């Protein structure tokens, strides 16, 4: 039975012609079976006519067949060569360029990395996995998958992780660049040797020798030649990294944050061709009829060129005949490059013979080369995760990790751009359905956003009353209706854990509802937790915490001057660091306070009182009959009143403040009588401190007297203040 070689994507007729003529010029392969497959019937017909003309021109005995059925094409194949482009130029490539351009993200080629490479991978990987699974199930034993489709590294990594079929990714950048360098340096290419390793399109010439001697000095000498203006980006990268990279300058410019992002002057200086791939595609389309005529041959003739430098035919010949060769290919990193991630896709020398592919162990790359490779591997791995897990959040993560995208766009723009790209590709049918994420986040919906959120709120109508009443607030944004029972669970030292009330809840997606709770009288002077729960696990219940009130005897002093010596200690801590310290006492009908607040970023013009630096005081009569009074101090040098609701000044309460580099000191009084608190009467008191920064180790925080991170709504950890005469 002849060796069967299948070309998937044979409609890429120019490239297919080169592969076919390369293969058939080996006498040992000249009687093989060439099976052509494409999804475009007209392109496939052209490819079949072309292949038969090549067979006739070379006068070989090869068989040619064609089919639109991928599985039939792969059946009993010994080698499968893939050259597909999912989405084509229109609309796939245009979407990859046009949408990012709206957000200010410029690209050159966009087929390997960057946002264009990521989305090309997302629409290509599912098709490559289907091909690999066909190879596993219907291909001949030992069938080898030879992939030419970009983005090479992401595609090969995904197939390795999803299927694991024998595969090599092939590119012409190594052999092409080795010839370019010989031309630049004026060397006879036949006497050049080299060793290259890294990742596809970012592999580096670790050695470049002429007649056995290091030829790098000749390349670095070109940097000093003012008349040498070739390959500006790659030579700049060689200047900085010390090694020459394998893929073109237009590619390199979008793999790093050092060029396009920095504006038109840099783009012009390094001659970076923005939108270059669009121009190439349009040129190919414009000349397709002429190309087709040349491929099919006028008057029945077709030109067949000598074998090209593409590795595909050489691999097949070596495996069929046992002729040993070294090629450069892309394979999983199984310890081959020590300082790159395990099973990322690496490009390096591979020995090929009857035993198949035998990759070369490189060891560690120079550290700067490994580092820049890893900046490209990170988005590759995340894009592969998105494709294999269908987790939408990893699409955003891949874009975040891409060097050029991250240097150009804010996170909000990255999210918006990815959403628009996903929508555009999905409308064309090129992307699978991803699991949803929480809106504008990098967290998957499942396990987090698929919960009904339930919280216990104080009923506003019970404000200031002796008996507090509560409501259950439930919100459903799960994407599907929710129907079930939500119970209110209490946990305390005196009661243990038990259910106080159970509510029947029925909510459509996107709806919110409130339900009154029938709870027994809850002790105010005991610590307990109320939490909404359900038996299905479909509810995320926000607990309501009640801290046991502090009972504090507040000294009554004869005059304000004795506050420092006779006042009660006031102290707040955050993460074991003193936040506010001071003294408090009662003098006549006033509460005296002397506080020192630690804040190395005092903000005197915060938009909201709790945004940054502020001290908040909360008062109530012990019976709560007049509700809660809330005042806040915004630090500013000098004497000023406190502020109350709606930023209204409360002139009865005055404080003098002094700001310094470490925070501020404030001293003043609260007029208890104006709050309805009579002389000698117990009252409830709480305070909260907000800071911009606490020392050199902690950022902004808002902490209540309970010592916990808190908010205005949670200021219920009152101390029960009992005046104690001196």
Last residue of a domain, one of 546, 567, 599: 546
What beta strand segments (E) does 368-481 contain?
A: 452-458, 470-476
- Taking the C-alpha atoms of residue 180 and residue 280, their distance in angstroms, rounded to an integer, is 21
CATH number at residue 698: 2.60.40.1190
pLDDT digits (tens, 9 = 90+) for 160-179: 999 999 999 999 999 999 99
CA neighbor of 675 nearest in space, from 554, 602, 579, 586: 586
In a domain, 60, yes or no: yes
pLDDT digits (tens, 9 = 90+) for 474-498: 999 888 899 999 999 999 887 789 9
Please report the pLDDT score of residue 526 as a whole number: 79
Q: How confident is the model at residue 126 (pLDDT cuts 50, 70, 90)?
A: very high
pLDDT above 70 as % of the chain? 94
pLDDT digits (tens, 9 = 90+) for 145-154: 999 999 999 9
364, two tokens: 């560690």
- Taking the C-alpha atoms of residue 268 and residue 602, their distance in angstroms, rounded to an integer, is 45
Residues, the chain:
726
pLDDT, mean over the chain:
92
567 and 698 inside one domain: yes
In a domain, 714, yes or no: yes
In a domain, 348, yes or no: no
Neighbours of 680 (CB within 10 A): 12
CATH number at residue 152: 3.90.1820.10
Please report the pLDDT score of residue 715 as a whole number: 46
Are the C-beta atoms of 523 and 693 separated by less than 8 Å? no
158 and 19 inside one domain: yes
Residue 405 clears pLDDT 50, i.e. is over it: yes
311, two tokens: 């590795």
267 and 294 inside one domain: no
In a domain, 594, yes or no: yes
Concatenating the DSSP letter of every residue in 160-213 gives HHHT---EEE--SHHHHHHHHHHHHHT--GGGEEEEEEEETTEEEEEEEEETTE
Residue 344, sorted as left (phi over 0), alpha (psi -120 to 50) or beta, turns out to be beta
Q: Which domain holds residue 476?
A: 452-546
Residue in the structure block whose two tokens are 């390997």: 112
Residues in CB range of 152: below 8 A, 6 or more apart = 112, 169, 171, 200, 201, 330, 345
pLDDT digits (tens, 9 = 90+) for 526-583: 788 999 999 888 999 998 887 777 888 999 999 889 999 999 999 988 888 889 999 9
Using N-to-C axis directions, what is the helix angle for 114-138 and 411-427, rounded to 10°? 40
396 and 528 inside one domain: no
Beta strands at 550-556 and 719-725: parallel, antiparallel or unpaired: parallel
Please report the pLDDT score of residue 697 as a whole number: 64
Last residue of a domain, one of 546, 576, 610: 546
Are the C-beta atoms of 627 and 464 separated by less than 8 Å? yes
56 and 122 inside one domain: yes
- Taking the C-alpha atoms of residue 77 and residue 2, their distance in angstroms, rounded to an integer, is 10
In a domain, 447, yes or no: no
Residue in the structure block whose two tokens are 């038969």: 52
Half-sphere exposure of 561 (CA within 13 A, CB side): 0
Longest CA–CA span in the chain (Å) reads: 118
Please report the pLDDT score of residue 261 as a whole number: 96
Residues in CB range of 451: below 8 A, 6 or more apart = 478, 538, 539, 540
Please report the pLDDT score of residue 297 as a whole number: 66
187 and 39 inside one domain: no
Beta-ladder partners of 207: 195
Number of domains in the chain: 5
Last residue of a domain, one of 491, 526, 546: 546
The mean per-residue pLDDT over the stretch 373-396 comes to 98
- Taking the C-alpha atoms of residue 379 and residue 120, their distance in angstroms, rounded to an integer, is 13
200 and 92 inside one domain: no
151 and 220 inside one domain: no
In a domain, 325, yes or no: no
In a domain, 54, yes or no: yes
Catalytic residues: 172
- Taking the C-alpha atoms of residue 378 and residue 398, their distance in angstroms, rounded to an integer, is 7
Residue 712 clears pLDDT 50, i.e. is over it: no
In a domain, 382, yes or no: yes
117 and 180 inside one domain: no
Please report the pLDDT score of residue 524 as a whole number: 65
Are the C-beta atoms of 634 and 616 separated by less than 8 Å? no
Please report the pLDDT score of residue 412 as a whole number: 97
186 and 147 inside one domain: no
The mean-pLDDT minimum among 239-253, 350-364, 619-633 falls in 619-633
48 and 154 inside one domain: yes
Phi/psi of residue 357, each to 5°?
Answer: -90, 130
80 and 27 inside one domain: yes
């Amino acid at each position: 039975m002849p060796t069967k070689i299948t070309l998937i994507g044979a409609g890429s007729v120019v490239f297919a012609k080169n592969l076919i003529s390369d293969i058939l010029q080996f006498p040992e392969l000249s009687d093989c079976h060439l099976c052509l497959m494409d999804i475009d019937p007209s392109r496939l017909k052209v490819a079949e006519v072309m292949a038969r003309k090549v067979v006739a021109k070379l006068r070989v005995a090869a068989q040619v067949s064609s089919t639109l059925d991928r599985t039939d094409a792969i059946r009993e194949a010994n080698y499968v060569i893939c050259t597909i482009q999912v989405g084509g130029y229109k609309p796939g490539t245009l979407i990859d360029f046009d949408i990012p351009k709206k957000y200010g993200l410029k690209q050159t080629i966009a087929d390997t990395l960057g946002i264009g490479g990521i989305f090309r991978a997302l629409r290509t990987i599912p098709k490559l996995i289907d091909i690999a699974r066909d190879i596993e199930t219907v291909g001949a034993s030992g069938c080898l998958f030879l992939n030419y489709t970009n983005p090479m590294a992401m595609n090969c990594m995904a197939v390795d992780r999803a299927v694991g079929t024998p595969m090599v990714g092939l590119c012409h950048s190594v052999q092409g660049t080795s010839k370019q360098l010989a031309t630049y340096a004026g060397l006879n290419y036949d006497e050049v040797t080299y060793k290259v390793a890294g990742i596809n399109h970012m592999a580096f010439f670790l050695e470049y020798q002429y007649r056995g001697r290091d030829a790098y000095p000749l390349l670095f000498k070109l940097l000093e030649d003012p008349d040498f203006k070739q390959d500006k980006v790659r030579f700049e990268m060689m200047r900085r990294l010390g090694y020459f990279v394998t893929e073109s300058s237009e590619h390199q410019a979008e793999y790093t944050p050092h060029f396009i992002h920095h504006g038109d002057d840099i783009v012009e200086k390094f001659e970076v061709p923005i939108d270059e791939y669009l121009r190439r595609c349009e040129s190919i389309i414009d000349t397709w009829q002429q190309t087709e005529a040349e491929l099919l041959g006028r008057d029945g003739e077709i030109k067949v060129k000598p074998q090209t430098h593409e590795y595909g035919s050489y691999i097949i010949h070596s495996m069929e005949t046992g002729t040993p060769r070294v090629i450069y290919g892309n394979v999983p990193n199984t310890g081959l490059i020590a300082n790159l991630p395990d099973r990322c896709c690496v490009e390096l020398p591979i020995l090929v013979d009857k035993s198949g592919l035998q990759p070369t162990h490189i060891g560690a790359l120079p550290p700067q080369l490994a580092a820049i490779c890893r900046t490209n591997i990170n988005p590759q791995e995340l894009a592969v995760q998105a494709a294999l897990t269908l987790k939408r959040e990893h699409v955003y993560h891949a874009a975040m990790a891409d060097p050029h995208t991250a240097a150009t766009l804010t996170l909000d723009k990255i999210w918006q751009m990815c959403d628009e790209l996903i929508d555009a590709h999905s409308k064309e049918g090129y992307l699978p359905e991803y699991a949803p994420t929480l809106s504008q986040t990098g967290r998957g919906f499942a396990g987090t956003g698929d919960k009904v959120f339930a919280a216990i709120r104080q009923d506003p109508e019970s404000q200031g009353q002796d008996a507090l009443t509560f409501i259950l607030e439930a919100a459903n944004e799960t994407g599907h209706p929710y129907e079930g029972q939500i119970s209110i669970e209490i946990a305390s030292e005196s009661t243990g854990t038990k259910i106080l009330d159970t509510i029947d809840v029925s909510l459509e997606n996107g709806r919110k509802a409130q339900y009154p709770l029938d709870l027994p009288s809850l002790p105010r002077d005991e610590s307990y937790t109320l939490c909404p729960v359900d038996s299905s696990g479909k509810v995320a219940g926000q607990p309501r915490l009640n801290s046991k009130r502090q009972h504090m005897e507040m000294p009554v002093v004869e005059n304000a001057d004795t506050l420092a010596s006779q006042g009660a200690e006031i102290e707040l801590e955050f993460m074991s660091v003193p936040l506010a310290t001071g003294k408090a006492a009662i003098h006549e009908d006033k509460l005296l306070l002397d506080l020192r607040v630690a804040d190395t970023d005092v903000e005197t013009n915060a938009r909201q009182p709790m945004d940054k630096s502020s001290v908040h005081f909360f008062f109530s009569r012990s019976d709560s009959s007049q509700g809660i009074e809330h005042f806040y101090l915004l630090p500013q040098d000098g004497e000023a009143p406190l502020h109350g609701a709606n930023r209204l000044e409360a002139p009865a309460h005055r404080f003098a403040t002094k700001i310094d580099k470490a925070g501020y000191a404030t001293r003043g009084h609260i007029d208890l009588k104006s709050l309805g608190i009579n002389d000698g009467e117990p009252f409830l008191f709480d305070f909260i401190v907000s800071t911009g920064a606490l020392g050199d180790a902690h950022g902004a925080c808002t902490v209540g007297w309970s010592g916990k991170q808190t908010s205005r709504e949670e200021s219920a950890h009152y101390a029960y203040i009992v005046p104690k005469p001196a």
